[in-house]
Amino acid sequence: MEPSARREEAPLTPREIYERLDRYVIGQDAAKRAVAIAAHNHLKRVQARRVRRQSLIKKSNILLIGPTGSGKTHIARNLADILHVPFTTVDATEYTEAGYYGKDVEVMISDLLLKANHSVEDTQRGIIFVDEVDKIARRSQGARNGAGSRDIGGEGVQQGLLKLLEGREVYVPLNVTQAWNKSDFVQVDTRDILFICAGTFSDLHDAGDESSRPLGFGADAAARLRRRISTRQLVEFGMLAEFLGRLPVVVQLELLGEPELMRVLTEPPDSIVREFHELLAMDDLELDFDDAALREVVHYSVSRGLGARGLRSILEHVMADVMFEAPEHRKRHLRVDADYVRARLKGLDAVQLNV
């Protein structure tokens, strides 16, 4: 090797990415494996371009499909931390077709540029998480030939995203709040930006005849196979075939059950229970949750269909009085039992949870 040649570190292997994701993301093993492979290929593609070598590796943009609270955003955010790249989350419903009131799709690159401290080089290897992509499905189903009203917030947004997903040089505004100001623009190449799109596609999950459920041995495996959402179903749902073609890695997440949600509460290094322990420890208070109390929280979340996202809101409500009184009762040991949780949860249905 020539002394002047720049040595590149070997990219993380899929197993290394998976193991790091596994520390923070409970369950969803198939999803974590697929995301780890896509991220590894993305790193190799970026590395090949850094040494100015022609590469046949295509972009591995990802589409995550799963119910609310199944961990779509959590996987993407932790992946960005593992890869040490800028990361931003955007809501697809905020964007409109170019020329109409609303955000142009290039503004999401501006959000990433802001997170990268306006470093174009760092921006060009970042990750953009586009949430709620199922809400930009084609709404004018009867106007596929171009007739009728324009679908500026649905099909128009998908068409605008095509060039970003595929990768090309675009001009993005430096000031996110003044995207209309045409004087302050910077050129960004999106070829190495990893796009992770996510949506619930709840209508597709709910579709199916109850009478056609498989019975007997192997019924669970057959049911999982039947629940797989096909590209044809997504196109019929209103997603453009060209849009789906630029998201080659399709990952379907499963609804988390009570055992997985119990682990979400306690196992990850950034778990909610650990957070409450740390908060009260700063007031010289020792906190202890009974397993039965945590099971009450998990059961409430599952019964309301809130998933992992609802656990924080439920526990914040349960612990509201404790957190209010805690600073005035230092050097004590607090124990939260199932009876206390059940009493607090009785009036929770009347509260609007922030999930």
What does the pLDDT look like over 184-227, one tens digit per residue? 788 898 988 999 999 988 877 654 434 334 444 444 443 444 46
- Are 191 and 59 a contacting pair, CB within 8 Å? yes
Give the per-residue pLDDT at 198: 93
Planar angle of CA 338, 263, 349, nearest 5 degrees = 45
Give the per-residue pLDDT at 4: 37
Taking the C-alpha atoms of residue 196 and residue 312, their distance in angstroms, rounded to an integer, is: 24
C-alpha distance from residue 14 to each of 17, 59, 227, 289, 328 (Å): 5, 16, 26, 36, 49
Give the per-residue pLDDT at 36: 93
191 sits in which H/E element? none
What number is the average pLDDT over the span 61-71? 89
* Residue ranges in 132-201 assigned as alpha helix (H): 155-166
Q: Show Cβ contacts of residue 318 under 8 Å, excluding neighbours closer than 6 positions.
A: 297, 336, 340, 341, 344, 345
All domains of the chain in start order, with CATH: 14-141+151-255 (3.40.50.300), 259-352 (1.10.8.60)
pTM as predicted: 0.80
DSSP 24: H
Report the SS3 class of residue 195: strand
Give the per-residue pLDDT at 10: 75
pLDDT 10s digits, 74-120: 999 999 999 888 999 999 888 877 666 668 888 899 899 999 998 99
Give the per-residue pLDDT at 300: 92
Taking the C-alpha atoms of residue 76 and residue 105, their distance in angstroms, rounded to an integer, is: 20
- Please report, as a single letter, which amino acid is at residue 26: I
- Please report, as a single letter, which amino acid is at residue 17: I
171 sits in which H/E element? strand 169-173
Taking the C-alpha atoms of residue 163 and residue 169, their distance in angstroms, rounded to an integer, is: 9
Planar angle of CA 46, 50, 54, nearest 5 degrees = 80
- Please report, as a single letter, which amino acid is at residue 340: Y
282's tokens: 């700063």
Taking the C-alpha atoms of residue 349 and residue 189, their distance in angstroms, rounded to an integer, is: 48
Which residues on adjacent β-strands are paired with residue 62? 196, 249
Give the per-residue pLDDT at 310: 87
Radius of gyration of the chain (CA): 23
46 sits in which H/E element? helix 29-50
**CA 118 centroid distance within chain:** 24
Look at strands 185-189 and 169-173 and give their pairing: antiparallel
Considering Cα of 255, then 259, then 260, then 266, what sign does the dihedral take? positive
pLDDT-derived band of residue 1, with 50, 70 and 90 as boundaries?
Answer: very low
Q: Indicate whether 28 pLDDT > 80.
A: yes
Taking the C-alpha atoms of residue 354 and residue 306, their distance in angstroms, rounded to an integer, is: 10
- Are 295 and 338 a contacting pair, CB within 8 Å? yes
**CA 51 centroid distance within chain:** 31
Give the per-residue pLDDT at 209: 38
- Are 108 and 170 a contacting pair, CB within 8 Å? no
Sheet of 87-91: strand order equals 87-91, 127-131, 194-199, 62-65, 249-252
More confident residue, 121 or 50: 121
Q: In this structure, how many other beta carbons lie within 10 angstroms of the beta carbon of residue 232? A: 9
